[in-house]
Amino acid sequence: MVYVGIDLGGTNLKAGVVDGSGKVISKVSFPTRVPCPAEELNAQLAQAALAALEQAGVSLREVPWVGAGCPGAVNRETGVVEFSGNLSLKDYPFQALLEDTLQKPVILENDANAAAYGEFQAGALRGAKNAVAVTLGTGIGGGLLLDGRIYAGYNHLAGELGHMVIETGGRPCTCGERGCWETYASATGLVRLTREALAHADRSGALWEMTGGDAARVGGKTAFQAMRAGDETAKQVVEQYISYLGCGIVNIVNLLQPEILCVGGGVCNEGDALMIPLREYVARHRFHPTANRQTQIVRAALGNDAGLIGAALLGRDRA
């Protein structure tokens, strides 16, 4: 059996054909053209799904459903995207329109939940019953797997981990609140920390040398690269960043006590320089640190394909 998944993002629209083990057989990607009329977006979605099927040499008749992940407030029961700021969508009937076009059942899920489900089915969370996925990007995405199922909550909005507050009255967040975790621990938060530190950095150090003192040249890798070159300011930035990231993860662990928590996103490419001190932070600060069983903190395994794979296999979650 093979399955079709769609991963709709603000920049790119991906679709692919996936087998039962989560292996990607084919994958296509197109720039997402938004904002646009509902019918035009639906045409983009259908075109991507059919292109992936054609590339794999598979007929639409051979797949049991089409799964899709979409950012924003997704109503899993009605198949409506109630709101998605990045896509300029409000009350968009995603499921109904695509089912009418493809004449195939469509299963819709929030994109972070779909990515978590991909890791659960075929990646770092495989074999767990209760697990959490955290994705570090422009913001922080999250997905919860409880008792082997996606947990979406009463209003389908559970898992917005980036918007737990870790500093009351802290930095303003795009959600309208202040002090949200993602303003400190996302890739954007790391860039901001680095830029703030650059203003006071030693001009003979690696951080200044790499950027020429220009904050616009700071990226998500800058602090780690400068730290590896021996820059003390960069080292302090990385330590501060990991404490912010660890604070949120400790909160999640204390609240849910999952078997495994995986962390994904570009920042995780720093490998042990991130993960080892992060695990040490969590081990020091979590509740009951001497318990025999503790949450494993691991890197996500599927990279940018997690959402596509999870979307394709969504029918298993709804069975």
Provide the residue range defining the domain that includes 57.
Answer: 2-121+305-318
User: Is the pLDDT at 289 greater than 90, yes or no?
Assistant: no
Neighbouring C-alpha atoms within 13 Å toward the C-beta of 263: 29
What is the rounded average pLDDT for all residues in the chain?
96
Same domain, 7 and 115: yes
Question: Residue written as tokens 């991963």?
Answer: 7
What phi-psi label fits residue 152: left (phi over 0), alpha (psi between -120 and 50 degrees) or beta? alpha
Structure confidence by residue, pLDDT tens digits, 2-27: 999 999 998 899 999 999 999 999 99
Same domain, 242 and 312: no
Structure confidence by residue, pLDDT tens digits, 295-314: 999 999 999 999 999 999 99
Q: DSSP 3-state helix, strand, coil percentages of the chain (rounded to 5)?
A: 45, 25, 35
Same domain, 61 and 198: no
Amino acid at 281: Y
Same domain, 109 and 132: no
Same domain, 74 and 148: no
Q: How many domains does the chain have?
A: 2
Same domain, 18 and 69: yes
pLDDT reported for residue 279: 98
Terminal CA-to-CA distance of the chain, rounded, Å? 16
Same domain, 130 and 12: no
Give the model's confidence band at 291: pLDDT under 50 very low, under 70 low, under 90 confident, else very high: confident
Same domain, 57 and 87: yes
Structure confidence by residue, pLDDT tens digits, 95-142: 999 999 999 999 999 999 999 999 999 999 999 999 999 999 989 999
pLDDT reported for residue 266: 92
The CATH number linked to 97 is 3.30.420.40
User: Is the pLDDT at 85 greater than 90, yes or no?
Assistant: no
Same domain, 148 and 183: yes
Structure confidence by residue, pLDDT tens digits, 244-275: 999 999 999 999 999 999 999 999 999 999 99
The more confident residue out of 207 and 174 is: 207
What pTM was estimated for this model as a whole? 0.93
Quick check: 211 and 198 in contact, CB under 8 A? yes
Same domain, 144 and 289: yes
Same domain, 113 and 140: no
pLDDT reported for residue 143: 97
Same domain, 142 and 223: yes
Quick check: 80 and 93 in contact, CB under 8 A? yes
